[in-house]
């Protein structure tokens, strides 16, 4: 997906208990799957800019994967997805949601 068109996403922050959600900004995921802040609410500017900087520094993501055939019961496994691989964007969106309670919604 390295040649994919830029896409804009609303960044929605969810409280851990799920009761409160609010839009904190808009980002673009552009060439090479790099994020760019297009707009941000003032009280979340430092957070969002720092997140974008840290995310753009990643060359790979480690994601959960099915355990190999013959592995012991409840074994876990992971795989690495490089930034230039087709699954990187989806893995990134999932990671932001799972680890930071952030949802990126296409706009």
Convert the pLDDT of each residue in 47-96 to its tens digit: 999 999 999 999 999 887 766 777 677 666 778 999 999 889 999 999 99
Residue 69 included in any domain: no
The whole-number pLDDT of residue 58 equals: 92
Residue 16 included in any domain: yes
Residue 1 has pLDDT above 60, yes or no: no
CA–CA separation, 14 vs 20, rounded Å?
6
Residue 80 included in any domain: no
* 21-29 vs 7-14, strand pairing mode: antiparallel
CA–CA separation, 49 vs 62, rounded Å?
22
**Token pair belonging to 33:** 């799957």
Q: Give the domain extent around 53.
A: 7-58+88-106
Residue 29 included in any domain: yes
Residue 38 included in any domain: yes
Residue 40 included in any domain: yes
Residue 71 included in any domain: no
**How many domains are contained in the chain?**
1
Residue 2 included in any domain: no
């Amino acid at each position: 997906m390295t040649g994919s068109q830029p896409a804009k996403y609303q960044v929605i922050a969810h409280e851990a208990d799920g009761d409160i959600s609010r839009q904190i900004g808009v980002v673009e995921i552009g060439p090479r799957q790099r994020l760019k802040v297009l707009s941000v609410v003032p009280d979340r500017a430092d957070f969002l800019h720092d997140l974008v900087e840290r995310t753009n520094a990643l060359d790979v993501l480690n994601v959960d994967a099915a355990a190999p055939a013959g592995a012991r019961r409840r074994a876990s496994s992971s795989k690495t997805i490089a930034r230039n691989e087709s699954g990187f964007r989806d893995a990134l969106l999932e990671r932001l949601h799972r680890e930071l309670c952030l949802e990126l919604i296409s706009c």
